[in-house]
Amino acid sequence: MITPYFTTGEGAPAPLRTSMSGRVRFEEVDPLGIVWHGRYASYFEDARVALTDRFGIGYLDFFEKGVVAPIRTLRVDYLRPLRFRETFTVEALLHWTETARLDMEFVLRNEAREVTTTGYTVQVMLDADWNLLMLPPPFYREFLDRWRKGGLA
């Protein structure tokens, strides 16, 4: 059992999820044939983009509204290595929060479905002048309303 990085408050909707598959490429491994530790951030990024684009809250959606959402925190926990040519899946989970941030969790599994790596990112929301937003911008509040009401498939 994997312990989640973020807790779900009472009455909060379930996390939004998506997963994607990949295959370890030669350029991603070290001389031992295992994935170099710094590559996992790219795997997380691919899953994050897939999830946020799926729900209409991707980087460009934010940018068009004059908001940027840089990563404030990145954590990676390495449990077992991935190897050259191995296929894997990355599951991304967006956890509920009513603050002006995105709490995203990641679970990587190898082709045997064993958990190899977990981690999370926290993204904060900034306006076009790079000022920290204390409340979610209107378009994101609308997204949160749809999420809470079960309007996101």
DSSP string, 7-56: PPPTTPPPPEEEEEEEE--GGGB-TTSBB-GGGHHHHHHHHHHHHHHHTT
> How high is the pLDDT of residue 1?
56
pLDDT in tens, the chain (153 residues): 577 899 888 889 999 999 999 999 999 999 999 999 999 999 999 999 999 999 999 999 999 999 999 999 999 999 999 999 999 999 999 999 999 999 999 999 999 999 999 999 999 999 999 999 999 999 999 999 999 999 886
Q: Residue 75 is inside which H or E element, if any?
A: strand 71-78
**pLDDT of res. 96:** 96
For the record, the structure tokens of 123 come out as 């993204």
Q: What is the pLDDT of residue 110?
A: 97
Q: How far apart are CA 64 and CA 42, in angstroms?
A: 24
Q: What pLDDT is stored for residue 148 in this prediction?
A: 95
DSSP structure class, residue 142: H
Q: For the structural domain made of 16-148, what CATH number should be given?
A: 3.10.129.10
Q: Domain-by-domain residue ranges, the chain?
A: 16-148
CA 95 distance to own-chain centroid: 9
- How far is Cα 148 from Cα 33, in angstroms, rounded to an integer? 44
**Residue 71, beta-bridge partner list:** 123
